[in-house]
Structure 1
Amino acid sequence: MKKAALTFLLAVLVPSLVLGWLALRSLRDQQLVAERQQTLLFQAAVDRLAALVNEQLLEHRRQFAREVEELLAQRPASETATEFHALLTGKWPLAEVGFAVSLNGEVMAPTVFDGLAAREFRIANDMFLCSKETVEVYYNTPKGAISLTQLDRKEQKLGALATATPGLATAGTGSEVSSAGKITKWSVTEAEFQQLVANRQEGTLARFLQDRLHVMFWYRSPRQSNLVFGSQVHLGRLVEDFRNTIAVPAGHEGTMAVALLNDRSRPLARDPQEFETEWRKPVASVELSESLPHWEITAYQLNPGGLPAAARSTGWTLALLTALLLLAIVIGGGLMVIDVRRQLAFARQKTDFVSNVSHELKTPLTSIRMFAELLAEREDLPADRRRSYVGIIGSETARLTRLINNVLDFARMERGDRKYAFQTADLREIVDSAVDSCRPALEEAGFDVTVTAPDSPVATRVDRDAIAQIVLNLISNAEKYSDRNKSILVDVRRNGHCTELRVMDRGLGVPAGHEERIFEQFHRAHDSLASGIQGSGLGLTLARQIARAHGGSLRCEAREGGGSTFILELPLESEGSKGSPT
C-alpha cells in the first residue's frame, strides 16, 4: 500500500503539480501574447489596404499616360503642349495643374494667366522644371527610386535651400523626419528635374512646399520624346477616390477601425466614419509608397479595454481549468487509493475465506473419518454409543453439505445463474423442518432452541429450499457467535402485509458500525483465525440475496439484554410474488 501511494505521488501528483505551477506562471504572459496576436492581425490588414491604395495610385498614373496619348493623337504635339493645362484639367478630374516642359528647360504650360492654381504652380516650380536648381523630392518610377551619383548632384548650402523651399524634410539617405515630426522609411533625393526624367518614360515625384505635400505625375510619349507632360494631382479628389478602399476587412467590423493619415497624422479617410481616437497611437501602421511620403494606413482597436479584459478572461479560464485538472487529479488519486485499499482488503478477505473454508472442510471431514474408523474397528461398541457416533457423522455431513451449498450458491449468484422454484407454502412448516434438521446437533452442543409461530398457516410464495437455507444460515450464525448463554429463539409472526421471521440469540452481538457490513461477501465482524470462530463469510451474504430475490429484506438489530436479532421480512401470499415457478 505504501509503495503504491509513493508511486502515485511520484508518477502522477508531483508532475501534475509542476505542470499546474507552470500553467499559472504562463498566465502572466497571456495579455502579451494576445496583444502580439492582435498586432499581427491588424498589421496584415493595413498591409493589404496599403497594397490596394498603392495599386490605385499606380493605375491613376497609367490613366494619366493614356490621357496624354489621346491628346497627342488628336492634335499636334506643340499645340497640345501649349494648351496642355486647359486640355487636361478639362477632361481628367484628378488634374489640379497640367504642365508641359521641353528637355531644353522651356516651360510651355501652364501660363501665369491660366488661373490662380497655375500661377502658384509656376512660381513654386519654374526654377525646378527649368533645371536651374536642385530640390529635395521623393521620387518613384516603374523601376523604383533612382540613385544619383555625386557627379549628378550640385552642391548647395543647406541654409539657401531651406530659404528657397521652406518646410522641406532634411535631405539624406536614411529615414527622414517631416516638419510634423513623423519618421518615414523613404529617402529624399536632391536633384534637378532633367536628372529625374533622363532616359525614363514616366514617374511620380513628391515634394513639400510650405509644409504642404505636392504630388506630380509625369510622362514622356514615344510620339514626342523631347517633351515631358505632367500633372500636379488634386489631393482632395485623390483622397475621395481612396475612401471606398479604406474599409475594415470583413470579419473585423466589431473590433477594428482603419484610417488614412496624412503627413500631419490627420485622418483623410476612416472606417467607421464616426470613429475618433488619438491618431498618433495606432495598433498597427504602414507607410504608403514614396509617392505619398509620410502618409500611412493605420489600424486601431474599437474597444481598447477589450483586449486586456479578454486576456484576463483567458487567464482566469486557464487558471480555472488548471485548478479543475489538479482537483480532478487529486480526487482521482484519492479514489484510486481508496479503491486500492478496498481491493487489498478484499484480497485479504479472499485469503481469509480460503483459510476459513479449508478449516471448515477439514473439521467435519476429520470428525467423519475419526468416528467412521471407530465404528469399523470396534465391533464391541455399545449400541447407544454407535447411535451417537452415527448421529455425529450425520450432523457433520449436514454441516459439510451446508458449507458446500453456500459456496456453490454464491458462485451461481455471482454469475446470475441462481434459479428459484416459487410455490405457495406455509412458512411455519419450512421453519420447523429446518430447525428439526439441526436440532439434535444443537442440543448435543447444549443449545436451547425454541420456535414460536401463529396457530394458523402463514402462507407465502417462496422457494422452500432457499428459505430453509436462510433459516439454517441464521441458526448456524447464532450457534457460532453464542456466548455462555446458549439460547436461540426462532419466531414467526405476521406484521401487516408481510411476514417476519426473527432469529434471536444471546451471543457476542454485532460490533457497532458493522450492522450492514456483515452482509458483505467475505466480511466477518470477528476475525475467525484470531477468535477461533469458524465460518466462510458467505452465509449472511447469501441470506440477504435470497431475501431480496423473494421481494423481501434481511436486517440485523441489537437485542435488548445482549445478543443479536436477525429479521427476515417476506410478502404474504396476498401481496403476490416477485416471480413465477421456474
Structure 2
Amino acid sequence: MLQRRSTILFIILVILPLALLAWLGTYLIRDAEKRTDASMQAVLAERLSAADQHILHDMRQLTDRLDAWGAQSIGSARLMSERLATHPWIAQTWAVAGEGEKVPLESFEGRAGYQPGKIFDAKERVQAILESTRNPDSMPQFVSMLEDGGPPFQRIYTPGKLPGIQQRSSQWMTYIKMFGYHIDDRPVLSDAPMSWSGWHVGDCVFIYWHRFADGSLSCALMNPQMLMHSFFQRLPQPGLAIPPGRMMLTTVKGIPLHEWGKRLPGSERPPAAHRACSEPLSQWEMAYTPANEEFPKPYLFPILLGVSSGIVLVFVVGWLYFHESASEIRVAQQRVTFVNQISHELKTPLTNIRLYAEMAAHRAESQGDSIAKRQLGVVEAETCRLDRLIQNVLNYARQQRDKLTIQPKELALDQTVSRIVEFWKPLLENKGFEIVTSLQGPETVMADPDAIEQILGNLISNVDKYANAGKWIAIRTEHDERNTRIIVEDRGPGIPTGKRRTVFEPFERLRSDLAEGVSGTGIGLTISRELAQLHGGSLTVCPNYREGARFILSIPNKP
C-alpha cells in the first residue's frame, strides 16, 4: 500500500508536471514557428505579387503602345501590319481582310529575325485567333469587359479543338485587353464601331493581335528573347529595394528564365514561396528564397528558459519531497523493527506468565480457593489478550517484510468458534454484554485454526472496545454450496459509509472520541483481512446493517 501511494505521488508530483511542461514547451515552440512561418509566407506572397504586377503592367504598357500604332493606321489591318513590321521586337506580321475571313492574304517580314520552329504554323495560329474573336458582341464576357472594366487582360479561349484547325503544338491561350485598367481608361461612347486587341500565347511564343470593327485582323509575332530581355532588365521594380534573397522566374516546366536579388547567405536553399504569373504570362512561375537575415528563427530562449526552470523546480520539489518521505519511511521502518523486536522479546516472558498463571489456577481450584482462582483467571485472560496484540504486531511486521502464510487443515468450525466464544464469555458477561450465538456451519472446513482464532478474536475485541454501549453481540456461522461465513454483529455506533474501506487500513481509527481510552495497535482488522484473503475469502462490512456494525468473514468451502 505504501509503495503504491509513493508511486501515485511520484506520478502526480513529478511525472505529470514534467509531461505538462514538456507539452507546453513544445506547443509554444511550434506556435512561435507557425506564427513566424505565417508572417514569412504573407510577406513573400506580397513580394511575389508586386513583382508579378510589375511584369503584368509592362505587358499592358507594351499592348497600349502597339495599339497606338493601329490608331495611326486609320483602321486598316494591312497598314497596321506594315507599320508593326518596323518594330524592333517583331519578327513577322500578317494581315487578314474582313470579307470572308480568309487565312493571311499578306505577310510582312519584321526586323527581329526570329523563327519560332518547324511545328509553328502561321496560318493555323491566325485562324485560331479569328475563331476566338469572331463575334464579340454575342459573348457576355465581352460586354462586361467593355462596361465594367477589370484586370489588364482576360482569357477568351480555353484550349480545345477549334473547327477546321488541327492542334499540333502545345496549349495556346487567347487573351483580350480590358478597359478600366488605367485611371483614365474608359471605353469611347460613340456610334462608331470599336476595335479590340490582345495576345495569343503559346510555349514562349507571343503573338500580338488587333481586330478592327470591319472584321479585319492584324497579327504580329514577337521575338521572345527581346521581349523577355526588356521585361527582365526592369527587374527588380524601379523604386523598390533589391530583395536580400533570390527571386527566380521560370517556366511552368521548371526551365530557368531569370534571377535577381542580393543573394545573401541562406538564399541558396530551395524556394520558400511560389506564385504563378498572371495572365497572359501564366506559362511563367515566380519563386523566392529568403536570406537568413530576413526571417530569423523565433527567439526561443525565453521559452526554453521558462520550461527549463519549471523542470528544475519540479525536480527540486520532487527530490525534497521524496527525500523527506524516505527519511520518514526509514524512521517508520526503524520503529516497526523496534516494536517487532520488543514484541518478540515479550513473547518468552509472556508465555511463562501464562504457564504459571494456569498452574496457580489449577492449584487454587484443587485447594478450593475461589477468590484466587477468579483473580488468576483475570490474569490468564489479560495474558491471552496481550498475546493476541503481540501476535498482531508480529504478523504485521512480517507482512511488511516478507509475506504472511497459513497452514489450512480440516477444521470443525463450530467447535472452534464455540471454544473462542467460551474463552471471551467471562470478560463480556462481566461488562454486561448479552451474547447470542447461532452455529450452523459445515461439519468441517479447510482453514488455519490459529488464523480463524486470531480473526474472530480481533472482531470480538473490537466489539468490546468500540460497541460497549450497545451491550450486545451476536456470533453466527452459516454456509451454502460455495462459502462458509462467520458473522459478528453488535449494536454500537456502527461504521459510516465512507469508512467501510479505510477501516481495514493500518492504524486507522473512525473518530477520536471512539478512540478515547481505547487501547490497541490499530492493525487488528488489517491482519484479519490479510488472513481472510490468504484463505481465498474476504472480510467485509455489511452495508445493509443499520443497528450497529456487522463483519462477515467468508471462506470458500473448496480452497
Higher relative contact order structure (alpha carbons within 8 Å, sequence separation ≥ 6) = 1
TM superposition score category, shorter chain reference: 0.3 to 0.5
TM-score by length of 1: 0.41
